Amino acid sequence: MTQANRAVISPLNVMGIDEWKSRLRHSKADLPLTDRLLSANALADKLGVSRSTIYRWLNDGTLPEPKRKGRTVRWSENEIDKWWDNAPKDGA
């Protein structure tokens, strides 16, 4: 590196650990809330039905398809809320 090049390079602006923690803390607050994934038990509690009803509705095609990872089955709470709002109600 020549003497002329050294004069052009500016020193790096290194952030202190406290400033980094502060920025990290504030950036997390700006993130949107994420969608919860509900187990069959949590979904049954939310809808006020039994766990076997959840699986019966799943097999009948009544419930939206869950997300699967291996043997784990979870339903998106946002999708369930949309499904519930659009589901036909008795007496209506």
The CA-atom distances, in angstroms, between 14 and each of 11, 17, 64, 69 are 9, 9, 50, 42
In this prediction, residue 87 carries a pLDDT of 78
Decide if 52 is inside a domain. Answer: yes
Domain of residue 72 covers: 37-86
The CA-atom distances, in angstroms, between 83 and each of 8, 14, 22, 28, 46 are 61, 50, 40, 30, 13
Is this model's pTM higher than 0.75 or not?
no
Say how far residue 87 (Cα) sits from the centre of its chain: 24
61 or 12, greater pLDDT: 61
Decide if 74 is inside a domain. Answer: yes
pLDDT in tens, 20-71: 777 766 665 565 667 789 999 999 999 999 999 999 999 999 999 999 989 8
Decide if 50 is inside a domain. Answer: yes
Count of domains for the chain: 1
| Dihedral of the alpha carbons of 76, 46, 39, 59, in degrees to the nearest 10 | -80
Decide if 57 is inside a domain. Answer: yes
Both tokens of residue 26? Answer: 């504030």
